[in-house]
Structure 1
Amino acid sequence: MSPLSPSLPTRVRTKVRAAVRRPTRLTPEETEARTLVLRLCSLALQYPDSELAASGAVLTSTVRALPESPAREHLAAFTDWFTGQELDALERHYVEMFDLRRKSSLYLTYYLHGDTRRRGMALLTLNQRYRAAGWEIGGGELPDHLPVVLEFAALAGPAGGEAPLRQHRRGLELIHRALTDADSPYRHVLAALLTLLPPPTEADEAALAKLAAEGPPNEEVGLDPYGAYGDGEFAPPGTFVPPLPAPPTLSEGPR
């Protein structure tokens, strides 16, 4: 049952909901720690190349320097695992979790819009948000890639900077659940991030259950249905589906 009585005026209910979802006023120290958590999550979710793997000790010491919090505990669990792995093992695990499983894909607009035309508009809107804040994406990555969204949130601050994270709260929750089901240490990174966001509402929980069961919206003709690739997985990104053959041209002969 909703904690807000339907007898309350609509304007009051709207303001209360906004207050619940809006980040509370933070001290400078809390803002600094929050920014650092976002940047650490962004780094942790990037592809583990040799440079990132070599920085494991620095990541660990930075996490340990954070104030005591659930986010710090989750990130510490991740860095303990990360620093104990060989580079090839890190690479294999990352590809398996984020490139071969759509339920834990790091492209956030996919969960909200699936393979539909609306996703293209969402990507454009997100890119425009970045540019309006004076920030340009480097490296050729899509604007909805979670490490990119996290870096923007760290740069722009809790209000406008974290708005895309709050908008895609359900997708983030689904990624976390998929990583937890796979027993991936990356679940700790998502758990750390989720501690910074408002808890899911009843509507969020219902939408998550539907999304997990049915998959995101889809408009592309010829795609295999969700669940055809392993145990309940969505079709992997980049899956090639050959086009349907064109019907034969019929000749009516000379008239």
Structure 2
Amino acid sequence: MSPRVPALKFSGQDITSAWQCASILLDYPDELLLSRLDLLGDVASTLPPKIGSGLLETIEYLRRPTVSETQSEYVDTFDTRRRGCLFLTYFSNGETRKRGLALLRIKQVYAKAGLILADEQLPDHLCVVLEFGALTDAKAGLKMILDNRAGLELLRIHLREVGSPWSGAIESVCATLPPLKGKDHEAVARLIAEGPEEEMVGLDTYGMPDLAPIQGGP
């Protein structure tokens, strides 16, 4: 029997649109992404304010004229700070052997749906998970996100605290999810206090998100 996935408070179409917009906005801001801002803005403006407003905030920031500064800030935000990591299983498994198993399980979900990732893509990258949920299998995508909910909430809190312009996109994704429960709150508090686990022996870059950043679309 497949695991029960909680009911959500927005329509499936609204969630799909929000996840697809967020998956693009949270990617490396190259010229292709920036050329899509008008279209993304049109889509975000049709969504309920609870999930559309954050997307619009990030879109407006990305309209700034200095692309190089935007790209530099993106790298500083997501590729150099552990709390800004976009690799979901890093938060739940840290730099341990368990993360390799978690990545394998996600790849198996993708393979079952007929999706094969490029060699340079890690399957737990938030942009990849959101695009998979938006375009391929919403139920499976939601389960991946909920399985790593504490890490996503930590990322949301961190981006909000540092005033990141990408905070809005993360806030939008989190707004599509069911309310946090007691165990989720405990997991977030533990991550804030202790950070992800560490186990340096026998690891390679496959388990080290800060050594293998993704720049490019899902």
TM-score by length of 1: 0.74
Matches within 5 A, 1:61-140: 61-64=42-45, 66-138=46-118, 140=120
Output the CA distance in 2 between the equivalents of 1:236 and 1:121. Answer: 15
Equivalent in the alignment of 2:170: 190
* Aligned residue in 2 for 1:53: 34
**Residues in 2 aligned to 1:139 and 1:214: alpha-carbon distance in whole angstroms:** 32
Distance in 1, matches of 2:47 and 2:210, equals 38
The higher radius of gyration belongs to 1
Match of 2:181 in 1: 201
Give RMSD over aligned pairs: 2.4
Check the 8 A contact 2:93/2:99 in 1, yes or no. Answer: yes
The answer on whether the counterparts of 2:79 and 2:85 sit within 8 Å (CA) in structure 1 is: yes
Deviations 1:44-94 (A, max 9, x none): 011011211222222222222x23331111111111111124211110110
CA distance in 2, matches of 1:131, 1:220: 29
TM-score using structure 2 length = 0.86
Q: Is the 8 A contact 1:103 1:174 kept in 2?
A: yes
Q: Judging changes above 3 Å, is the alpha-carbon distance between structure 1 residues 25 and 185 closer, same or farther for their aligned structure 2 residues?
A: closer
Local SS of the residue matching 2:108: helix
Q: Post-superposition shift, 1:23?
A: 2.2
Structure 2, unmatched stretches of 5+, are 202-207, 213-218
1:200-230 deviation per Cα after TM superposition (whole angstroms, max 9, x unaligned): 1122222211111211111115xxxxxxxxx
CA distance in 2, matches of 1:155, 1:161: 10
Matched position secondary structure for 2:211:
coil
- Larger helix proportion, structure 1 or 2? 2
Asked which structure has the greater RCO (Cα within 8 Å, sep 6+), the reply is 2
Percent of aligned positions with the same letter in both sequences?
A: 32
Gaps of 5+ in 1: 1-17, 222-234, 240-255
Seen in structure 2, the aligned counterparts of structure 1 residues 238 and 83 have a Cα distance that, compared at 3 Å, is: same
Quote the Cα distance in structure 1 between the aligned partners of 2:167 and 2:185.
19
- 1:159 partner SS: helix
CA distance in 2, matches of 1:160, 1:144: 13
Q: Which SS does the other structure have where 2:90 is aligned?
A: helix
Decide whether the 8 Å contact of 1:74 with 1:189 is kept in 2: yes
Matched positions, count:
206
Q: Distance in 1 between matches of 2:48 and 2:186?
A: 32
